[in-house]
Amino acid sequence: MTYSNLQIFTVELIGTFILVVFATGSIVYDYEVFDGKLGIPFAALAPFIALLIGVYSFGKISLAHFNPAVTIGYYITGHISKTQVLYYFVAEIIGAILGSMFVLRFIGDGVSLGANAPNYDFSILLIFPVEVLASVMLMGVIFYVVYTKGLRGFSGVAIGGIVGLDILFLAFISGASMNPARALAPALLSGTFENLWLYWTAPFVGTSMAAFLFRKKFQAQRATNYE
């Protein structure tokens, strides 16, 4: 079944909203209620749950990007058009901003609304590659579960799982955003822009690298289908 761009726009907005509420809201909630005691494991679990909801609810309609860097990956591999990139980007950014507005209104305004921040105890020469690596792994898992026969029926678990694992093991270095929209919204509403350059460069580099690695495979698949 083919879905319209309006349908794709709508579910991407809703899915990104859910993701940002869970991903950033969990950080703010931990700070406001538990004084940060739940820490990174709680921050890793929340987006895993959000992506389970989003992927299984909307994956058949929009492929459940909820992330501009993922959208660019799909564009590079030829799965979406230039026009669709615009629909995805606008939906993801609006959904993310609405998510941060929800967090501000109903959860709190602590820790810059859950904005991503790298650990500058490490060199930027490590921080940037780690954020790229996290994004490569995310895009690689997405391509594996969506466009191969691997892990059928477990795509949401795999995609949510890699996001959770990236956060669990890499957030203490780079912040492990992997998502420019998720990074933008809390930064915009809290006025904390100093780290935004990182999350609007490294995730795109990472997903693009993964997309170029997978592109030939998808081109070969399409050629086989036309034979």
Q: Provide the pLDDT for residue 226.
A: 47
169-182 pLDDT, tens digit each: 999 999 999 999 99
- Residue-range domain boundaries for the chain: 5-222
Beta strand extents in 80-135 (DSSP E only): none
CA gap 59, 218 in Å, rounded: 19
5-222, which class in CATH? mainly alpha
CA gap 52, 179 in Å, rounded: 17
For the chain, the residue count is: 227
Q: Provide the pLDDT for residue 225.
A: 53
205-216 pLDDT, tens digit each: 999 999 999 987
10-42 pLDDT, tens digit each: 999 999 999 999 999 999 999 999 999 999 999
Query: Which parts of the chain register pLDDT below 70?
Result: 148-152, 219-227
Q: Provide the pLDDT for residue 68.
A: 98
